[in-house]
Structure 1
Amino acid sequence: MTKNQLLIVLFIWSVESFMYFPAKSQIIQSDSLNLKDAIELGLENSRELKKAVLDEESAELLKKEVRGSGLPQLNAYGNYNNFIEVYPQAVPSGLFGPGTPGEVDVIALGVPQSLQAGIQANQLLYSSSFFIGLKAAKTSEEFYRLLSSQSEEEVIYDISMAFLGTVQLSLHRENLLANIDQLTGLEKIVTAQVENDLARSVDLKRIKVSLSSLNSELENLDVSIFQNKSYLKLLMGVPQETDFELKKSEIISEMLPLTYSVDRLDLTERKDLQVLEMQSTLLDFEYKNTKANLHPNLVAFADYNTNSFATEFDYLSESKNWYQGFLIGLKLQVPLFDGFVTRSKAQQVKVKKLQLQQDYSLAKDAARMEYDNANKKYYNSIRTLKSLEENLSLANEVLDETQLLYKESLSPLTEVLDAESAQRQARTNYNNQIVQVKIAQIEILKSTGKIKEIIL
């Protein structure tokens, strides 16, 4: 065997070894985070979810506030008055003694100082606004609970998209590294050939140009992966300095079923439509509560107090006289005319309800469109994946045949480089399409309101 043939055999062996055996660094690399782990971390740490939980607590406190307004209201009070000059009062002349008929006497009635302390109680007996508000508060609590569930779905979707986007770039990076290693091995072989006048220097230059382009692409790809992982960390609510790797194997194999089907679209599963329906219910309560402003209110009250009067401050004296008072009663308030303010407010609520109906109709159409698009995207992705799989197989065959021809000196190095580039692109397209299939699956789950099934 000549020296030239030996170098060619070594080149072919190095290419085949790389293609069929992963690099050592890839074998010992320990992935630590899969999609389910990322979502669970996000649900645990998401600031948006924490805000949603606080909204739920606020709604529960609001319900207690409304309920409390229907319970007895008890207040203690105290008054101290010191009239520097007692207010004068005008009375008919002669009312308190001799006087001139037809004249007016101005006298000072009362004492300069008075002290009063008491307890006042009020109990709402009837108010249609109160009962409507209590029902609205309970519905509002359910509304915020529903918003919290919707926020969970949004967190799951956002993390899934960010995770898969990062995985897609990582798969591309692995493919790029494989080609860089392959070209690096080829560069060493051709360099040895050039030094022994067994190959042209222009072939070596072509390899160096290809390597330079791939390394530049790798640098840009690393920046994109760093940015995507940073965004993923933000969504997951973990510190930016946290270091982890993403598990890609399940994206390629386990998370790619041969068939995928979902039930017919059930709009009742969509949280966004449920939110709109709940908003409609709250508007109904708002309308009824507005109209209730024209209804009568009945309140029972009681007041127990003790009073003392003096010309000077001597209320600490044991001989001071204190006078007690006790009052109970009912207060009825019947609105008669408010200048059509209540009617105008009620009409405004009706307009909001009509606007909400338009939003609901639009949301229903958008949900159907989203579902149809997700299904079409999924089945098209499956067909495209099968086509790209065949294309990758052909690209591998072309590369193998081109390498054999080059080994037999029947094909120039440029064809080997072209075949290698085509195989790299075919592999990249295939990996990208695998991720696209998974994205389409998630979009189907989102469109049907079943995206939480990802973590089940």
Structure 2
Amino acid sequence: MKKNYLFWIAVCFSLVFNCSLAFGSQQGVEIQNVTLQESIDQALENNRSRPASRYAVAMAEAQHKQALSAYWPQVSATGGYEIKDDDPNFIFPASNISLPTITIPGLGALPLDSIEVPVQDVKLMDNESWKASLEAQWLLYDGGMRKGYSEQTAGLVEMMKQEVRRTDLELIDTVKRYYFGAVLATKLHNVGKETFERMEATLNLTETMYKEGSGSVKKTDWLDNKVMVESIRSMVALLEKNELMAQAALANVIGRPWHESVKPIDSELFYTPFGSELDQMVSSSYQFSPDWGKLESALRAAEGGVRTAKSGHYPKVAVTGELFKWWNDYDGGMSTDKNREGWTIGFGVQIPLFSGFLTKHKVAEAKARVSQLKEQRMLLKEGIGLQLKDVFLSLNAAEKAFNASQTAMEASTENRDLNTRAYQHGLVETEKVIRAQLVEALMQAQHYKVRYDHIALCSKVNLIVGTEWENQLKGQ
């Protein structure tokens, strides 16, 4: 039983849509040729997500420096002017001073009366005064509080740096997929144009054979062929649109203006066997994965939080000092040269006695956070291994599909050539020639799609474990 070749058209349409409709952008006006590395460099330079990540690093570094500032003495200078409604004074209360009995030789004892001292209003200083001082405070011992804050902020800095790496890896992965997606769209467009040209040539041959009345070709064959040619003509228009959309999407992801499009310089979808074992890939991922590095940094920060919480159990010891001078126009009372300027040095200790078990519960919370992150680390370890196993199996399947699809593509090309030559001599039917041409286009499209999938999977490996893993592999 002969197969209906319209089925192959449906398959071709389905494959074309799956390969091409993932690109959504506007058709560009200006088209420039770019290499893959140029695309990546421009994306890293122009993409707005990278500055946001780097500002997060700058914020974390500033917080870390804030924590380190607690190790230094804190020095401040103050100055001010003060005026009061009245001059400060001191009331010396009234008193009665008793005089002692005086004995005079020859006269005997002479008793003396007491002396009454009235209330005295003593002025201390003028109501206006100026003052300037230089104060210093240095924390000598804090029970590990400053070290804990330093560890927390240092862990935050590393977390933000890993987030920057994650942003860069995601951007590079996107550029690679869009770049080779544009190459794939061009390849499919070329396949469509070549198929259309061959089908159009077959249509002309069918028309000639039908009009000459050879008997082996009927008018229905010519009409079926014509329907097929016009259908492929519309498919080629769609493939051309998809090619332009893919180029515009690539321009968008690398930061070009909306009215520009870029075209990849590469015209082939390169294929390089992966050549690595799953165990090696998984073990290397823990060293280079930004997600793993971010979690490890978060764990170090949480351990610093435990140290900070525990410092609440210990005393705080500090040294304080002040150098001061003040000015007042009055020359009596408290306004003396000794009082107007001087310095003080102090030594203070703060010992926590009871806080309602607040410190105890803070320590428990910090320890629970550390335990939570350790469990999340185990989950991440299994998750990364599962992700890489899925990619590894997909790569194996893609490599097998590459060999099979390449063989099928070569066989379909040879089959189309034989059927075309046989058709010219009236040895095969029109339907078989059309089907052979459609099968060749389908096998070519499948093979190019397999190549693209293999490139995308290799890029996904770098996204999961980082580009350092690929560099290490190349250096072996």
For the aligned pair, the TM-score class normalised by the smaller chain equals: 0.7 to 0.9
Letter in 2 for 1:133: Y
Larger deviation, residues 120-129 vs 190-199: 190-199
In 2, the alpha carbon distance for the partners of 1:109 and 1:231 equals 83
Q: CA RMSD in A?
A: 3.6
In 2, the alpha carbon distance for the partners of 1:231 and 1:322 equals 78
SS at match of 2:132: strand
- Per the alignment, residue 275 of structure 1 pairs with 294
In 1, the alpha carbon distance for the partners of 2:462 and 2:132 equals 67
Tell me if structure 2 keeps the 8 A contact 1:308–1:321: no
Using a 3 Å threshold, how does the CA distance of structure 1 residues 289 and 167 change in structure 2: closer, same or farther? same
In 1, the alpha carbon distance for the partners of 2:292 and 2:419 equals 58
Mark the runs of 5 or more structure 1 residues left unpaired by the alignment.
1-29, 100-104, 312-319
Letter in 1 for 2:85: I
1:175 deviates by 0.8
1:42 deviates by 2.6
- Per the alignment, residue 297 of structure 1 pairs with 316
Q: 1:169 aligns with which of 171, 180, 185?
A: 185
Mark the runs of 5 or more structure 2 residues left unpaired by the alignment.
1-30, 97-116, 331-336
1:261 equivalent to 2:276? Answer yes
Q: 1:288 aligns with which of 307, 311, 314?
A: 307
- Per the alignment, residue 353 of structure 1 pairs with 370
- Per the alignment, residue 409 of structure 1 pairs with 426
Q: TM-score scaled to structure 2, two decimals?
A: 0.74
Tell me if structure 2 keeps the 8 A contact 1:385–1:433: yes
The 5 A counterparts of 1:230-269 are: 230-251=248-269, 255-258=270-273, 260-262=275-277, 263-266=280-283, 267-269=286-288
1:183 equivalent to 2:233? Answer no
In 2, the alpha carbon distance for the partners of 1:31 and 1:304 equals 70
- Per the alignment, residue 45 of structure 2 pairs with 44
- Per the alignment, residue 24 of structure 1 pairs with none
Tell me if structure 1 keeps the 8 A contact 2:152–2:302: no
SS at match of 2:327: strand
Using a 3 Å threshold, how does the CA distance of structure 1 residues 218 and 290 change in structure 2: closer, same or farther? farther
Q: Note the alpha carbon deviations across 1:91-139, whole angstroms, 9 max, x for none.
A: 896479657xxxxx99998753332222222223222312332344344
Using a 3 Å threshold, how does the CA distance of structure 1 residues 260 and 40 change in structure 2: closer, same or farther? farther
Letter in 1 for 2:341: Q
In 2, the alpha carbon distance for the partners of 1:160 and 1:454 equals 17
Tell me if structure 2 keeps the 8 A contact 1:299–1:330: yes
1:305 deviates by 1.8
- Per the alignment, residue 398 of structure 2 pairs with 381
The 5 A counterparts of 1:31-110 are: 32-84=33-85, 94=94, 98=118
- Per the alignment, residue 146 of structure 1 pairs with 162
In 1, the alpha carbon distance for the partners of 2:301 and 2:356 equals 26
Q: 2:140 aligns with which of 125, 136, 144?
A: 125
1:365 deviates by 1.0
1:404 deviates by 2.1
Q: 2:224 aligns with which of 206, 221, 236?
A: 206
- Per the alignment, residue 371 of structure 1 pairs with 388
Tell me if structure 1 keeps the 8 A contact 2:47–2:255: yes
In 2, the alpha carbon distance for the partners of 1:451 and 1:420 equals 45
Letter in 2 for 1:273: W
SS at match of 1:74: strand
In 2, the alpha carbon distance for the partners of 1:55 and 1:95 equals 73
In 1, the alpha carbon distance for the partners of 2:70 and 2:354 equals 26
In 2, the alpha carbon distance for the partners of 1:194 and 1:45 equals 60
In 2, the alpha carbon distance for the partners of 1:234 and 1:334 equals 62
Letter in 1 for 2:165: S
1:149 deviates by 2.6
In 2, the alpha carbon distance for the partners of 1:85 and 1:207 equals 114
SS at match of 1:245: strand
Q: Note the alpha carbon deviations across 1:195-243, whole angstroms, 9 max, x for none.
A: 7778765445434432332233334444444444444334323333343
Letter in 1 for 2:313: L
SS at match of 1:119: strand
Question: Which structure's CA Rg is the greater one?
Answer: 2
Using a 3 Å threshold, how does the CA distance of structure 1 residues 373 and 400 change in structure 2: closer, same or farther? same
Q: How many pairs are equivalent?
A: 410
Tell me if structure 2 keeps the 8 A contact 1:442–1:451: no
Tell me if structure 2 keeps the 8 A contact 1:112–1:310: no
Question: Quick one: percent identity of the two aligned structures?
Answer: 17
